[in-house]
Structures are given as C-alpha cells and as structure tokens.
Amino acid sequence: MKELSDFLGEQTLNHLNTQLTAFAYAQLGSQSAAQDAVQDSLLAAVQSLEKFKGHSAFKSWVFAILKHKIADVLRTRHKEASLYVEEDITELVFDEAGHWQAGFVPSVLEPQVATENEAFWQVLELCLQNLSALQGRVFLMKEYIGLDGDEICRILSLTKQNYYVLMHRAKLQLQVCLTRHWFEGEI
Amino acid sequence: MKSCQEITYLASNIADRPMTTGEKIELHWHLMICKHCRKFYQNNQKLSIILQEQNKESTLTATQAIHQPQGG
C-alpha cells in the first residue's frame, strides 16, 4: 500500500479506507468481510494507479471495484445458502444407515410446563438463535408467523425441495439443542 | 423400508409436503414402532403449538399497547 499512500497521502488514504469500509459494512453486515472486500479493491485499484491523475477519479474507481466485490460476495453467499453449505445436522444425528445416534435422540417435551416457564423460553430463544440464518427464518415464518410453505418459498426464492430440507434440519437442530440445554441443563 | 432419517424428513414436512398413500402408511407405521421418531414428531407438534400461542399472546400485548398509550 506504500504506492497508494504516496499517491493519495496518508490522511486521504485513511479517510478513503474508512469510507470504503463503512460502505462495505453496510452491505455485508460483517466487519471482517467488509475489510477483506476493501483490501481486495484497493489492491486491484493500485494496479492501474498510473492511469489516474486526480484523487477523485481514483476514489470513484475504487468504489466501482468495491461495488463489484460486494456483489460477488453477496452472490456467493446466496449460492451457498441455496446449496446448504451450512452445517448438515443430519450427519451428526443419524448414522450411515439413517438410525438415531446415541446422544442425539429426542427427549419428551412437556408443553404445559414449558409455556409457563420463563427459563424454557430463554432456552428456546437460544436454540432458535443457534439455527443458521436461513433455517431460523424458514422455521419461524412457518411455525411462528404461520405462513404456508408456498408463500415462504416465494418470499425467500427457495424451491420446495430446499424448503423441506431446511425445515427438516431446523427441527432436528432445535430438538438436539433443547434436549441438551433444557433436559440435561447444560447451559 | 425407510430409515429414521427419512422418516424424520417426512414428519418434519407433514403439513406442507404432499405424501403418497405409501408414504403415509410407512410414516405412521414407523411412528408406532419407533419411540425416538415418535418423540421427534410429537415434540414438533408441541413446539408448533407453543409458538403459535406465544404469537397470539404477543399480538394481544401489542394490540393492548396500541389501545393503552403510555404517558397520558
């Protein structure tokens, strides 16, 4: 980045870096992802540094590169979400023959006790938070908000097949979590 | 014959996914003989009820809050 601070001056570079990072953070929602995208964009921009005479032209150029980077990151995320690169709970819960593994079998949930118990809600909330973002959304849209499967698929651009897989995993994940933290008190 | 993994998949989507008669028979037969899958299925139903009740309650609270503005 030496070339760059020579070209822009230390202060302008720092200021630009802050602006770029704030912009990327707003789109990506993660500080480390934002910093990575900014770093990549600056490195790419430096390669054509000699083409730019003024700072402002250079800034627009970096922003343009950053926008492409962000779009790439978001596109990859979307693809990952729809391909379920997220952890596959079924591999933990079931053995190769598809039988329940010891330690993952569900316990009996007593709703009367549960609904009146503040502690149960805290555990349930924790377990819902532990779901992947997409699983959590799908599960709550269905079970809490009460939307039907077709509607959820339309809103989240999922295929029916994706939706079934997400619901299956979300429910397994929740029950494993509830069994661990509620029934065995391992909070 | 379907494994527990496959049965929990069917059971998880019982409300949304159309099932063939064969699948229905296999699911209910399996739930009768397998207590782990039965617990999984029953827990899902209970969770579903708990969350719906909670949703009704919070809607009620929100409605009450609207009709009883604070301050006054």
Beta-carbon contacts below 8 Å between A and B: 88
B70/chain A closest Cα distance in angstroms:
25
- What pLDDT, on a 0 to 100 scale, did the predictor assign at position B70? 47
Q: Which tens digit of pLDDT belongs to each residue from A70-120?
A: 777 877 776 555 444 456 788 889 999 999 998 888 888 776 666 667 777
Q: Which tens digit of pLDDT belongs to each residue from A8-19?
A: 888 888 888 988
Question: What is the value of ipTM here, to two decimals?
Answer: 0.85
Residue scoring higher pLDDT (A184 or A157): A157
Is A33 a residue whose pLDDT tops 70?
Answer: yes
- What pLDDT, on a 0 to 100 scale, did the predictor assign at position A146? 85
* Surface-to-core class of residue B26, CB atoms within 10 Å of its CB (0-12 exposed, 13-18 middle, 19+ buried): middle
> From B16, which residue of chain A is nearest by alpha-carbon distance?
A149
Rounded to whole angstroms, the Cα distance separating A61 from A175 reads: 50
Q: Cβ of A72: how many Cβ atoms within 10 Å?
A: 12
SS3 of residue A100 by DSSP: strand
Cβ contact, residue pair A114, B50, below 8 Å: yes
- What pLDDT, on a 0 to 100 scale, did the predictor assign at position B64? 58
- What pLDDT, on a 0 to 100 scale, did the predictor assign at position A98? 94
Cβ contact, residue pair A99, B4, below 8 Å: yes
Question: Which parts of chain B are beta strand (E)?
Answer: none
Q: Rounded to the nearest 5 degrees, what angle is found at the Cα of A76, between the Cα atoms of A72 and A82? A: 145
Is B2 a residue whose pLDDT tops 70?
Answer: yes
- What pLDDT, on a 0 to 100 scale, did the predictor assign at position A186? 40
Is A185 a residue whose pLDDT tops 70?
Answer: no
Q: Which tens digit of pLDDT belongs to each residue from A119-167?
A: 777 788 888 888 888 898 899 889 988 888 999 998 889 999 999 999 9
Comparing CB atoms, the residue among A106, A121, A140 nearest residue B39 is A106
Q: Phi and psi for A94 in degrees, rounded to 5?
A: -115, 150
Least confident stretch, A1-15, A65-79, B21-35: A65-79
**Which positions in chain A have a beta carbon within 8 angstroms of at least one beta carbon in chain B?**
90, 93-94, 97-100, 105-109, 111, 114-115, 121, 124, 140, 142-146, 148-149, 160, 163-165, 167-168, 171-172, 174-175, 178
- What pLDDT, on a 0 to 100 scale, did the predictor assign at position B62? 56
Cβ contact, residue pair B51, A160, below 8 Å: no
- How many CA atoms lie less than 13 Å away from A145 in the CB half-sphere? 12
Question: From the candidates B2, B6, B13, which should be mutated to test the interface with A, based on the most A CB atoms within 10 A?
Answer: B13
Question: pTM for the whole thing?
Answer: 0.62
- What pLDDT, on a 0 to 100 scale, did the predictor assign at position A80? 54
Cβ contact, residue pair A143, B47, below 8 Å: yes
What band does A179 get if pLDDT is binned at 50, 70 and 90?
confident
Six-digit token string for A165: 């897989």
- What pLDDT, on a 0 to 100 scale, did the predictor assign at position A181? 78
